[in-house]
Amino acid sequence: MMLVLGDYNYLWNVFLLFVGAFVVLFASIITEKRTVMVTLGALFAAASLILTVLQYTESVEIQGTPIFLSGYTKLFFIAILIPGILSIIGMGKSPSTKKPGLMIFIFLISLGFMLLAISSFDLLFIFVAFEGVSIPTYVLAAYGKSDSELEAAIKYFIIGAFSTGIIIFGISLYYISTGSMSLGAAPGFQSVYFLAMGLLIFGFGFKLAIFPLHGWAIDTYTGTSNPVSSYLSTSSKIMTLIVLLNIFFTSPLFYGYLKIIFAIIAILTMTFGNVVAISQNNVKRMLAYSSIAQAGYLSVIFLVAGTSAISLAIISLFMYVLAYGFMKGGSFLAMDSLGNYDIENFSGMWKRNPAFAVSLSILLLSLAGFPGTLGFIGKYFLFLSVLSTGTALAYLVVIISVINSVVSFYYYGRVMMYMFWRNGSKERVPNNYLLYASALFTVLFGVLYFLVFSYAQSLIPHITSFIVGGI
Cα dist. 301→168, 207, 316, 394, 413 in Å?
25, 17, 9, 10, 27
Task: Please say whether the dihedral angle defined by the alpha carbons of residues 309, 311, 315 and 321, taken in this order, is positive or negative.
Answer: positive
d(CA 168, CA 266): 24
Q: Are 410 and 337 in contact (CB under 8 A)?
A: no
Q: Point out the residues of the chain with pLDDT beneath 70.
A: 1-10, 56-70, 94-98, 144-148, 460-471
* Model pLDDT, residue 150: 76
What are the extents of the domains in the chain?
6-467
CA 406 to chain centre: 22
d(CA 324, CA 256): 28
**Vertex 117, ends 114 and 122: CA angle to 5°?**
175
Provide the β-strand partners of residue 342: 282
**Which residues lie closer than 8 Å to 389 by C-beta, 6 or more apart?**
303, 304, 307, 309
Each residue's pLDDT tens digit, 195-226: 999 899 988 888 888 888 777 778 788 877 88
* Model pLDDT, residue 95: 57
* Nearest Cα residue to 136 out of 161, 163, 109: 109
Would you call 121 helix, strand, or coil by DSSP?
coil
Q: Are 11 and 61 in contact (CB under 8 A)?
A: no
* Nearest Cα residue to 438 out of 49, 87, 111, 115: 87
* Model pLDDT, residue 362: 92
Q: What is the DSSP string of 24-62?
A: HHHHHHH---HHHHHHHHHHHHHHHHHHHHHB----EEE
* Model pLDDT, residue 469: 38
**Vertex 460, ends 42 and 3: CA angle to 5°?**
45
Q: Are 174 and 204 in contact (CB under 8 A)?
A: no
* Model pLDDT, residue 398: 92
**Which residues lie closer than 8 Å to 367 by C-beta, 6 or more apart?**
290, 294, 327, 328, 331, 375, 408, 412
d(CA 188, CA 200): 18
Q: Are 309 and 386 in contact (CB under 8 A)?
A: yes
* Model pLDDT, residue 69: 52
How many other CB atoms are there within 10 angstroms of residue 422's CB atom? 14
* Model pLDDT, residue 121: 80
